[in-house]
Structure 1
């Protein structure tokens, strides 16, 4: 009986983790090298908390729109395999810009909403909402047998008041609920870790600006993501290591 139970447990684990890879998709707050000298993205520090390989495909300066328009999602669609995971986190570069900067999403969360803007050459182009880009990516990954975790963007330094965050936190949650993707409230979990550490220590995590973390800060932000994952309903949490399941602070 014990052997049968163990075999079943192994089969269940393999359904989640065997031969799987986690691909991280986002901007400089997640990307290798972060936002410049002295900074790094949290994706570089997630591996110790997951038992399956983590591949960081985040790119500094990107938004849901530009990551799409540059063909980076398309490249991943030809790279992933059934059983893999995608973690998508955008928001810092998705806000409106005049003139258009190639990154700004069309305002709102309706996937049918479009905007007409002019690029740097004066050419007229059509843009879509954050939810259009994210939800299309989730749907495409699902068709390939890849599960997605939509993660809310990280807070800037000083955002200690836990709450809904900026509009992209709400958009991320909405994208997940609309598509059936898993969701991690990374914004609020980072704030909980920061509150436990105190503002003085957190200030040291931001050597250049209020957005990009030092390696030490990136590690804390990675821990906050792992905590949010473990406290949520995603089956990816079965792949958390002992380091990932023993992180401080409670579930929200």
Structure 2
């Protein structure tokens, strides 16, 4: 804070650093989705139109909570954030078990912070890995220690239907909710908010959002997924919702 005087009046000014919203996730959030030329894109690219804060999309295709940790990508965000920045963390699509040989992304099975598994690498060596909850919890607590405000978001659903509703979520959705509860940060059930939006739109139209597989969305689909996150955010206790603009306030559907 600094001051200056005009005439007999003293004016106090404070320097305020604009808050940033960082995004940590996989291809469903990342620029270009599954890669340039596929016609897909991640929902994180469309979140900024609904907020008054700037977005730093650090999501990258093919990553899991484990590989984002091991590659130092969480560390980069932790180093960059300042107090008051928001960090939305969303993983799950790439965190499942991969078979006899480690794919560099799979987490140990289960939700315990102490469970580990020894996996075999392609060169025959072994590595001890931890659970989804372990990697996520470490990231959340490290961000909180910097004064950042983490938001744990459930992974988005695949385009898989059970009758006229989206199929039940994988285990990483309740795992994400556990992490948020155990670390006392906001949870956004992005899975269910996207499912709500898709079920209103209908399977026939939603199918057009998935040109290459059941995971990666077109730009139109990515916008729907971004809107669903904003709806979940507005229905949460997060202070980030105070930075939702008028376009964000107008996104469809209601609280679950």
Q: Write out per-residue CA displacement over residues 69-128 of structure 1, whole angstroms, 9 at most, x where no aligned residue.
A: 011111111111111010000000000012110000000000010011121221211100
Residues in 2 aligned to 1:193 and 1:227: alpha-carbon distance in whole angstroms: 10
Q: Which structure shows the bigger proportion of residues in helix conformation?
A: 1
Q: Which structure shows the bigger proportion of residues in strand conformation?
A: 2
Q: CA deviation at 1:161?
A: 3.2
Q: CA deviation at 1:163?
A: 7.8
Residues in 2 aligned to 1:158 and 1:119: alpha-carbon distance in whole angstroms: 31
Residues in 1 aligned to 2:209 and 2:140: alpha-carbon distance in whole angstroms: 32
SS of corresponding position for 1:219: helix
Residues in 1 aligned to 2:165 and 2:149: alpha-carbon distance in whole angstroms: 31
Structure 1 residue ranges without an equivalent (≥5): 1-16
Structure 1 length-normalised TM: 0.91
Q: What RMSD over aligned residues (CA atoms) do the two structures have, in Å?
A: 1.3
Q: CA deviation at 1:164?
A: 5.7
Moved over 2 A (4+): 158-164
Structure 2 residue ranges without an equivalent (≥5): 1-15
Residues in 1 aligned to 2:245 and 2:160: alpha-carbon distance in whole angstroms: 30
Correspondence 1:32 to 2:31: yes
Q: Write out per-residue CA displacement over residues 172-206 of structure 1, whole angstroms, 9 at most, x where no aligned residue.
A: 00000000111000000001111111111100000
The equivalent of 2:191 in structure 1 is 187
Q: CA deviation at 1:18?
A: 6.1
Map residues 44-193 of structure 1 onto 2, 5 A cutoff: 44-98=45-99, 99-159=101-161, 161=165, 165-193=169-197
Cα–Cα, structure 1 residues 216 and 225, in superposed 2: closer, same or farther, change >3 Å?
Answer: same
Bigger-Rg structure (1/2) = 2
Higher relative contact order, structure no. (Cα contacts within 8 Å, ≥ 6 residues apart): 1
Q: Write out per-residue CA displacement over residues 139-192 of structure 1, whole angstroms, 9 at most, x where no aligned residue.
A: 000000001100000001134636861100000000000001110000000011
Q: Count matched residues.
A: 236
